[in-house]
Amino acid sequence: MLTATLGAVLTFGAPGALAGTLPAAPAAKAPTAAASPASRSAASTSAAWVAGTRAYLVITAPGDSSAVRSAIAANGGTVFSAYDAIGVIVAHSASSGFATTLRSVPGVQQVGATRTSDVPADAYNPALPADPAQASTPAGESVRADVSQIKADQAWAVNPGSPSVKVGILDTGVDDRHQDLAPNFDAADSVSCAYGKPDTRAGAWRDVDTHGSHVAGTVAAAKNGKGVVGVAPGVKIAAVRVAEPGNSFFFAENTICGFVWAGDHGFKVTNNSYYTDPWQFNCPDNIDQAAIIEGVKRAQEYAKSKGSLQIAAAGNENYDLAHKTTDSASPNDSTPVTRTITNACLDIPTELPGVVTVAANGTGVTKASFSNYGQGVIDVAAPGSNVYSTVPGGGYGSKSGTSMATPHVVGVAALIASAEPGITPAQLRARLAAQANDIACPSDNRCTGTTANNSFFGEGQVDALKAVGTTPPPGAYFENLADFAVNDSATVESPITVTGVSGNAPATLKVGVDIKHTYIGDLKVDLVAPDGTVYTLHNRSGGSADNIAQTYTVNASSEVANGTWRLRVNDNAASDTGKIDAWTLTFRRPVSAPRR
């Protein structure tokens, strides 16, 4: 883990778990959070844990697994977690013959060890990650080079992203209290999947490194006048901590848990800036690695069947993924050995069918020197060098790697999903390819293919402005980020002055509302046009639910666009108060069809 210093370049010297982040000289690990009484019982470990305990994937037919579970118990194992919908059981055993014995059990299709090291005792009674003190940042959020490179700053005027789109950050965790992440953070759908079982305790999702928080900021840091702005600052992010503390390893059972969680919790897109440890490449002719491929593949397919698209980093070894020959980095949880491999061996989840694989650009449209490549493997590219984003404790820093390129693509995918709410994962994958800008091969004989699709850049570099569908008209987007208190039985108004928009407002005026208030059934919310006409957005519905974070469409075509618009909030009962946190107006008109 790395210290997070403002403006410093942050790099990783950890083992290959964070395969999407550029390896560099080793950095000191931050101390692990001390266990509190709430996070750990008096006993330091569970009686179920013994030295030599290993984790296994037991693959069965989807459905009732009770017979196989009984066989696990009868043969020296325990069921740690189970995913019957995909036929995957995570079993623990300290018996050296467990896997061999279980493979002969009726109903068992595959059994494979997920690691070459013992399961930590922490798996049975996990400590909560640290909750770091938060630094404050002066006002000001300049547009970064990587953001302007993909035209995200122009896309915000058309569509900054919808809060109904949830993005899963499958990583080392996320600092949910960071000033730039908190406004868009979804705690209800966040979890730790470390060790392969959902841990839903508050804070279990927090960062055990700095990597996940950095990725999260690139996707959706809030447009709040401070720090940085994410590619899709209007969407929601949820943390799924897949990394284990102390080493930031992403074992197969953790990834499986993360993908199943993503499918069950409605994540439209997930960011996967890692590979599944301990094998950089999993080979189907190895009995353990074959089970890892099958288990993670089933989980990814499950998430996709539930409407979730997985986007993953290509890796940073400057390696041709279309012509694999050797692997010298595996297994990274014990002693790596050099082995001969073929293209049948897969980087998981990056090379699974249906996953979008992301390469990194350097400055402009160059290939980042570290980025992996491969004809037919790379789908799209995005900026990945010296990306400045959020780190735990309210800080900011720069990192390089395909880990940093991937959240740019995830942000663009979230913008597409915001503009096209019913889009399927397959359609979203196709749209990502269609909106990318072609990049021709440089004078480098390793780059093969055409300008439209080659081994360095795939379909090209993503373009957020093209992703949202049009060029924004001047003065199209306006916002008021100031807080206005909503007191009991009182009315408050927040103004926005619109200038530079000719004619009337559109019939599809978008009104983005972010109100923090308990018991929203107390509230009536209106848009007041410059001439005083009132358009009701919310009228005391929602009962005891908290907060209004919604974009409304208003037919304001009879109103002159320029002038002062007001968001009026009326509290109609005692006991619950809140504030107008922010609101926006987006003046959008349909794009004319091209002439033939």
Task: Report the CATH number that the domain containing residue 553 is assigned in CATH.
Answer: 2.60.120.260
DSSP 523-582: EEEEEE-TTS-EEEEEES-STT---EEEEEEE--TTSBSSEEEEEEEEE-SSS--EEEEE
Residue 547 has what pLDDT?
A: 82
The confidence band for 32, taking pLDDT boundaries of 50, 70 and 90, is very low
Beta strands in 352-404 (DSSP E): 356-361, 380-383, 387-391, 395-399
* pLDDT of residue 549 exceeding 90: no
Q: Examine residue 135 and state whether it is found in any structural domain, yes or no.
A: no
Q: Measuring CA to CA, how many Å separate 591 from each of 221, 455, 502, 561?
A: 29, 34, 16, 18
Structure tokens at 148: 């302007």
Residue 588 has what pLDDT?
A: 59
306 shares its domain with 393: yes
Domain that holds residue 497: 472-588
Asked whether the beta carbons of 529 and 535 are under 8 A apart, the reply is yes
Angle between helices 211-220 and 402-419 (to 10 degrees): 40
- 590's CB contacts (< 8 A; 6+ apart) are none
Q: Mean of the per-residue pLDDT values for the chain? A: 88
Residue 589 has what pLDDT?
A: 44
User: If you average pLDDT over residues 310-329, what whole number do you get?
Assistant: 97
Q: Examine residue 11 and state whether it is found in any structural domain, yes or no.
A: no
Residue 142 has what pLDDT?
A: 80
289 shares its domain with 360: yes
Minimum mean pLDDT range among 45-49, 331-335, 500-504, 511-515 = 45-49
314 shares its domain with 295: yes
pLDDT in tens, 125-172: 999 999 999 998 878 888 899 999 999 999 998 899 999 999 999 999
* pLDDT of residue 192 exceeding 70: yes
CATH number at 312 reads 3.40.50.200
Edge-to-edge, what's the strand order for the sheet holding 77-83? 77-83, 88-93, 54-60, 108-113
Q: Is 418 a known active-site residue?
A: no
Q: Is 265 a known active-site residue?
A: no
Which of 468, 494, 511 delimits the end of a domain?
468
207 shares its domain with 231: yes
Residue 45 has what pLDDT?
A: 37
Beta strands in 138-252 (DSSP E): 166-171, 191-192, 236-241
Minimum mean pLDDT range among 99-108, 129-138, 218-227, 500-509 = 500-509
Which of 434, 468, 502 delimits the end of a domain?
468
* Proportion of the chain above pLDDT 70, given as a percent: 89
368 shares its domain with 514: no
Write the burial class of residue 322 (CB in 10 Å: 0-12 exposed, 13-18 middle, 19+ buried).
middle
Annotated catalytic residue within 93, 308, 330, 403: 403
Annotated catalytic residue within 65, 175, 190, 211: 211
Angle 459-460-466 (CA atoms, 0-180°, nearest 5)? 100
Residue 358 has what pLDDT?
A: 98
Q: Examine residue 581 and state whether it is found in any structural domain, yes or no.
A: yes
CA 554 remoteness from chain centre: 31
User: If you average pLDDT over residues 67-82, what whole number do you get?
Assistant: 96
* pLDDT of residue 9 exceeding 70: no
Q: Examine residue 167 and state whether it is found in any structural domain, yes or no.
A: yes
Structure tokens at 133: 């003190």
Q: Examine residue 151 and state whether it is found in any structural domain, yes or no.
A: yes
Per-residue 3-state assignment (H helix, E strand, C coil) for 156-169: CCCCCCCCCCEEEE
Residue 46 has what pLDDT?
A: 43
DSSP conformation class of 237: E
- Rounded to an integer, what distance in angstroms lies between the CA atom of residue 459 and that of residue 440? 10
Residue 314 has what pLDDT?
A: 98
98 shares its domain with 187: no
Question: In DSSP terms, which residues pair with 454 in a beta bridge?
Answer: 449, 458
459 shares its domain with 495: no
404 shares its domain with 508: no
Q: Examine residue 174 and state whether it is found in any structural domain, yes or no.
A: yes
Beta strands in 219-376 (DSSP E): 236-241, 269-272, 309-313, 326-330, 337-340, 356-361
- Rounded to an integer, what distance in angstroms lies between the CA atom of residue 409 and that of residue 399? 16
- Rounded to an integer, what distance in angstroms lies between the CA atom of residue 191 and that of residue 267? 13
* pLDDT of residue 13 exceeding 50: no
* Proportion of the chain above pLDDT 90, given as a percent: 76
Residue type for 233, please? P
Q: Examine residue 44 and state whether it is found in any structural domain, yes or no.
A: no
Determine phi and psi for 212, rounding to 5 degrees.
-65, -40
- Rounded to an integer, what distance in angstroms lies between the CA atom of residue 525 and that of residue 102? 61
Determine phi and psi for 402, rounding to 5 degrees.
-65, -20
- Rounded to an integer, what distance in angstroms lies between the CA atom of residue 183 and that of residue 178? 9
Comparing 3 with 519, the larger pLDDT belongs to 519
CATH number at 73 reads 3.30.70
Asked whether the beta carbons of 403 and 18 are under 8 A apart, the reply is yes
- Rounded to an integer, what distance in angstroms lies between the CA atom of residue 300 and that of residue 258? 9
The pTM of this model reads 0.75
Number of domains in the chain: 3
* pLDDT of residue 88 exceeding 70: yes
Q: Examine residue 32 and state whether it is found in any structural domain, yes or no.
A: no
* pLDDT of residue 93 exceeding 70: yes
User: If you average pLDDT over residues 248-273, what whole number do you get?
Assistant: 98
Annotated catalytic residue within 122, 146, 171, 333: 171
104 shares its domain with 160: no
DSSP conformation class of 296: H
Per-residue 3-state assignment (H helix, E strand, C coil) for 445-502: CCCCECCCCECCCECCECCHHHHHCCCCCCCCEEEECCCEEECCCCEEEEEEEECCCC
- Rounded to an integer, what distance in angstroms lies between the CA atom of residue 538 and that of residue 518? 15
Angle 325-328-331 (CA atoms, 0-180°, nearest 5)? 120
217 shares its domain with 363: yes
* pLDDT of residue 194 exceeding 60: yes
Residue 44 has what pLDDT?
A: 33
> In this structure, is the dihedral angle defined by the CA atoms of residues 497, 519, 552 and 184, taken in order, positive or negative?
positive
Tell me if the bond preceding 349 is cis, omega within 30° of 0. yes
The confidence band for 470, taking pLDDT boundaries of 50, 70 and 90, is low
The confidence band for 21, taking pLDDT boundaries of 50, 70 and 90, is low
495 shares its domain with 509: yes
Residue 224 has what pLDDT?
A: 93
- 337's CB contacts (< 8 A; 6+ apart) are 328, 330
The H or E element spanning position 78 is strand 77-83
Reduced to 3 states (helix: H, G, I; strand: E, B; else coil), residue 195 is helix
307 shares its domain with 426: yes
Residue 218 has what pLDDT?
A: 98
Q: Is 41 a known active-site residue?
A: no
Residue type for 460, please? G
The confidence band for 18, taking pLDDT boundaries of 50, 70 and 90, is low
